[in-house]
Amino acid sequence: MKAMLLDAQGQPLRLAEVPRPKPEADQVLLEVRACGVCRTDLHVMDGDLQHPRLPLVLGHEIVGVVVEKGARVERFALGQRLGVPWLGHTCGHCRYCASASENLCDAAEFTGYTLNGGYAEFALADQRYCFALPNEYPDAEAAPLLCAGLIGYRSLVAAGDARRLGIYGFGAAAHIIAQVARWQGREIFAFTKPGDTDGQQFARQLGAAWAGDAGSAPPQEMDAAILFAPAGELVPQALRHTVKGGTVVCAGIHMSNIPEFPYAILWGERCVRSVANLTRRDGEEFFAIAPKAGVRTEVTRFPLESANEALQQLRAGQIRGAAVLVTG
Tens digit of each residue's pLDDT, the chain (328 residues): 999 999 999 999 999 999 999 999 999 999 999 999 999 999 999 999 999 999 999 999 999 999 999 999 999 999 999 999 999 999 999 999 999 999 999 999 999 999 999 999 999 999 999 999 999 999 999 999 999 999 999 999 999 999 999 999 999 999 999 999 999 999 999 999 999 999 999 999 999 999 999 999 999 999 999 999 999 999 999 999 999 999 999 999 999 999 999 999 999 999 999 999 999 999 999 999 999 999 999 999 999 999 999 999 999 999 999 999 999 7
Q: Which residues pair with 111 in a beta bridge?
A: 115
Query: How much is the pLDDT for 94?
Result: 97
Query: How much is the pLDDT for 21?
Result: 97
- 66 C-beta neighbours (distance < 10 Å), count: 21
- Cα(2)–Cα(216) distance, integer angstroms: 46
Structural domain 150-274, CATH architecture: 3-Layer(aba) Sandwich (3.40)
User: Are β-strands 27-37 and 56-57 bridged in parallel, bridged antiparallel, or unpaired?
Assistant: unpaired
Helix, strand, coil share (%) of the chain residues, nearest 5: 30, 30, 45
Give every CB contact of residue 213 below 8 A, 6+ residues apart in sequence.
191, 192, 193, 194, 195, 196
Q: Could you tell me which of 161, 208, 180 has the C-alpha nearest to residue 285?
A: 180
- Cα(152)–Cα(180) distance, integer angstroms: 10
Distance of CA 173 to the CA centre of its chain: 6
Within the chain, all domains assigned CATH 3.90.180.10 are found at 2-147+278-326
Query: How much is the pLDDT for 121?
Result: 98
Helix (H) or strand (E) holding 291: helix 280-292
Query: How much is the pLDDT for 154?
Result: 97
Give every CB contact of residue 93 below 8 A, 6+ residues apart in sequence.
none
Query: How much is the pLDDT for 10?
Result: 96
Structural domain 2-147+278-326, CATH architecture: Alpha-Beta Complex (3.90)
Instruction: Give the SS3 label for residue 63.
Output: strand
**DSSP string across 113-169:** TTB--SSBSEEEEEGGG-EEPPTTS-HHHHGGGGTHHHHHHHHHHHTTT-SEEEEES
Distance of CA 145 to the CA centre of its chain: 8
Query: How much is the pLDDT for 302?
Result: 98
- Residue 194's alpha-carbon distances to 198, 214, 216, 234, 249, in angstroms, are 11, 7, 9, 13, 21
The dihedrals phi and psi of 285, each to the nearest 5 degrees, come to -70, -45
Ramachandran bin of 76, using left for φ above 0, alpha for ψ from -120 to 50, beta for the remaining angles = beta
Q: Quick check: 174 and 190 in contact, CB under 8 A? A: yes
Q: Quick check: 205 and 198 in contact, CB under 8 A? A: no
Within the chain, all domains assigned CATH 3.40.50.720 are found at 150-274
